[in-house]
Structure 1
Amino acid sequence: MKIAVYGANGYQGKLVLAELARRGMEMVLIGRSRERLSAAASQVGVADAEIRIADADCSHALASVDALINCAGPYTVSGQAVARAAITAGCQYVDLSGEQLYVKEFFDDLGPDAERAGVALVPMMTESGAIDDLLAALLAARLQPAEIALAHKNLNTGGLSRGSARSALKTIDFLRTGGLAYEDGKWRTDAPALRKSVTFLGGEDVPVVKFAMPAVVTIPRHVDVQRVQGLLDAETGERVTAAALSEELIEAMPEGPSEEDRRAQRFTIVVDATADDGSSVQATATGNDAYRTPAVMAVEAARRLIADPPKPGVLAPAQAFSPADFLDFLGRNGLTWAIAGWEAR
């Protein structure tokens, strides 16, 4: 089982390398600069790992590779080119995207080619994407939802990585609209917020604003639902959309939060499903380290795609993997999740 990492020298890429090394998996580092890749490999403690040089059109660098993890954001810029390279090479594909429009266009554009190539492409293996998608699938199995609201509350110490900041800069105008909501088979940026506040764990009632959560565009692909919308605690939403970002400021930032700051990060997710008759069911998830968690998710996703390939095509996480089983795996790696009426995990 050989897994390649594109963008391996970036902040998120090195966390993925560290997770591959922790699990004893064979890896290939792919990127534009041998010097930077070598430095990343040494920093992570995998100095003997194989290095291959390629840009986003990296199909020639994927020989004998079983799966590709794309860590090179902003995905809006080059994500599809890397995914198409995986299609050409005939290897499975995972990325850690959180850019809502990118995820929508990924599904719109790449499905038929992936199906013909016989490979699965699974984007958005992040806490802000895959966990929402997996929880929503479990809720829909218990209740026929008319409406699903995805609410997040974040405590992110140490700030963003440069990659996350660049992704925000590329999509800042779209983020300021509140992103896409799904209503009656259509995508809208002008839909009113489904909630003004959300009660998070501990009974804390928190003001929320519309936000471009990526799972808004995947959930309607496998759940029969009328409305889906993403929400973010208002404090974080204001901080993200009001940020005065520029490439010069980003370049002057630290590469990313320190390990100590990452360990202090907290994220809380509430997914509410409501039926036409007003009945509802709720799922919650809490975790820490919003950068290591996606690395763990992406490596496990790649492993599962190789070991037990799903149907080919572009797939939401809940279409590619058993939702409860994948969440239970995350539960052994720091995530606590529960659904009303189920024992907390």
Structure 2
Amino acid sequence: MPWMIYGANGYTGNLIAREAAKRGLKPVLAGRNETALQALSNELNLPYRTFGLDEPEALLAGLDNIDLVLHCAGPFSVTAEPMMLACLEKRAHYLDITGEISVFELAQSLSAKAKKQKVVLCPGVGFDVIPTDCVAARLHEQMPDAITLALGFDSRSGLSAGTAKTTVEAMKNGGQIRSDGVIQRVPLGYKTREINYGNGTKFSVTIPWGDVSTAFHSTGIRNIEVYIPSSPKSVRMMKMANLAKPLLGLSVVQGVMKKQAAKVEGPTEAARAKMPAFVWGEVTNPEGKKLVARLRTINGYSLTVLGSLAIASYILMEKSIPGGAYTPSKLMGSDFVERLDGCGKIQLFEN
């Protein structure tokens, strides 16, 4: 079945395209940069198409005879909606590698239409958010009466230009958590705590990560926070940034910061091999009982390559999957991350 990697010339899209070619898969490479795509197409002996997302007719034509799109061109807060809507119109399954809350919520809002069109919408088929989503689902399986969920990860994967741009895009929105079932905006640096991710206890701070959306749809738990390791100095800087938040949303400021972000180069293969990630989760039930989960995975970018290709292959082979919006664990099971090469088992501890 014909499928496409859109944004194949970007850092992560390129990694996925190369692994797909190595496996003998034949995705169509796509994006806006014809020079880069043609060079990659020639090297990998794969077909390519050039089109942007800001011209609806060209976008729809670009998806002709495509059964699945793996969307890798961020910032997804800008690019996901036109691609998702085009996929629904063309009845092509949609995957992406986002970690952005707004994109997950968009997919859920389109679930009924996706069911009608028999289209699978599953954003977040990379490190954002496969491992944390699987940890959330496993914790809920073991404590179905949980009322609070905290998740976190210690990933020293480095940044690609796309990830750096996404970070810049998100800064203007501040922090986000889920409280009593509703996504709430909170200040940057909203809450801190000490967390042992599996590699020692670290001072940590809340961030507006995709699990604020996805973990709710995977588990139904109504109170969710996500953490990463930080330092007291960094948290103080976050809190100072709250004062400048109106400025961070100005197009000229965003433009300058994104220009700098575009200069970032992602980690090399050798660097990725030396940078595992550690994932943590904690649930609490009404009686105050706690359950903790820990997981060690491969580098975040490497996990994105394996996870996205595994989900794309599954959807293309399993033609009977009902249409609708999915999270990775809802589509693949809470053990999905454990089945990816190089990733460990989810370990559970009563606390």
- TM category (shorter chain) comes to 0.7 to 0.9
Q: Distance in 1 between matches of 2:136 and 2:5?
A: 29
Contact 1:70 1:94 in 2 (8 A): yes
Contact 2:338 2:346 in 1 (8 A): no
Could you say which residue in structure 2 is the equivalent of 1:232?
228
Could you say which residue in structure 1 is the equivalent of 2:178?
182
Q: Distance in 2 between matches of 1:222 and 1:200?
A: 22
Could you say which residue in structure 1 is the equivalent of 2:245?
none
What is the CA deviation profile of residues 249-299 of structure 1, one whole-angstrom value per residue up to 9, with x for unaligned ones? 233333x22222222223211011111112222222222322121121111
Superposition deviation, residue 27 in structure 1: 1.0
Could you say which residue in structure 2 is the equivalent of 1:317?
328
1:49 is aligned to 2:46: yes
Could you say which residue in structure 1 is the equivalent of 2:343?
335
AA matched with 2:166: S
Name the TM-score, length of structure 1 as normaliser: 0.87
- Structure 1 pair 115/289, CA: closer, same or farther in 2 (3 Å)? same
- Equivalent position SS for 1:128: coil
Q: Distance in 1 between matches of 2:41 and 2:28?
A: 10
- Equivalent position SS for 2:142: coil
Could you say which residue in structure 1 is the equivalent of 2:18?
18
1:261 is aligned to 2:271: yes
Could you say which residue in structure 1 is the equivalent of 2:263?
252
What is the CA deviation profile of residues 221-274 of structure 1, one whole-angstrom value per residue up to 9, with x for unaligned ones? 2323231111111149939967997133233333x2222222222321101111
Alignment size in residue pairs: 328
Within a 5 Å distance, the mapping from 1:1-345 to structure 2 comes to 1-42=1-42, 45-46=43-44, 48-56=45-53, 57=56, 58-108=59-109, 110-143=110-143, 144-156=145-157, 159-174=158-173, 177=174, 179-190=175-186, 196-202=193-199, 204-235=200-231, 238=234, 246-254=257-265, 256-308=266-318, 309-324=320-335, 326-330=336-340, 333-340=341-348
- Structure 1 pair 307/236, CA: closer, same or farther in 2 (3 Å)? farther
AA matched with 2:347: I
- Structure 1 pair 162/187, CA: closer, same or farther in 2 (3 Å)? same
- Equivalent position SS for 1:115: helix
Q: Distance in 2 between matches of 1:136 and 1:53?
A: 38
- Structure 1 pair 237/301, CA: closer, same or farther in 2 (3 Å)? farther
AA matched with 1:316: T
Contact 2:130 2:337 in 1 (8 A): no
- Structure 1 pair 117/27, CA: closer, same or farther in 2 (3 Å)? same
- Equivalent position SS for 1:189: strand
Q: Distance in 2 between matches of 1:252 and 1:39?
A: 21
- Structure 1 pair 237/265, CA: closer, same or farther in 2 (3 Å)? farther
AA matched with 2:46: A
Contact 2:293 2:349 in 1 (8 A): no
What is the CA deviation profile of residues 205-227 of structure 1, one whole-angstrom value per residue up to 9, with x for unaligned ones? 11111111201211222323231
Cα RMSD, aligned residues only: 2.6
Contact 2:2 2:67 in 1 (8 A): yes
Superposition deviation, residue 146 in structure 1: 1.1
Structure 2: gaps (5+ residues): 242-247
AA matched with 2:123: P
- Equivalent position SS for 1:64: coil
Q: Distance in 1 between matches of 2:210 and 2:220?
A: 18
Superposition deviation, residue 97 in structure 1: 0.4
Superposition deviation, residue 140 in structure 1: 1.0
AA matched with 1:75: F
Q: Distance in 2 between matches of 1:130 and 1:77?
A: 22
Contact 1:94 1:121 in 2 (8 A): yes
- Structure 1 pair 131/160, CA: closer, same or farther in 2 (3 Å)? same
AA matched with 1:30: A
Q: Distance in 2 between matches of 1:9 and 1:170?
A: 21
Q: Distance in 2 between matches of 1:339 and 1:79?
A: 34
Deviates more, 1:258-267 or 1:75-84: 258-267
AA matched with 1:200: Y
Contact 2:97 2:128 in 1 (8 A): no
Name the TM-score, length of structure 2 as normaliser: 0.85
Superposition deviation, residue 194 in structure 1: 6.7
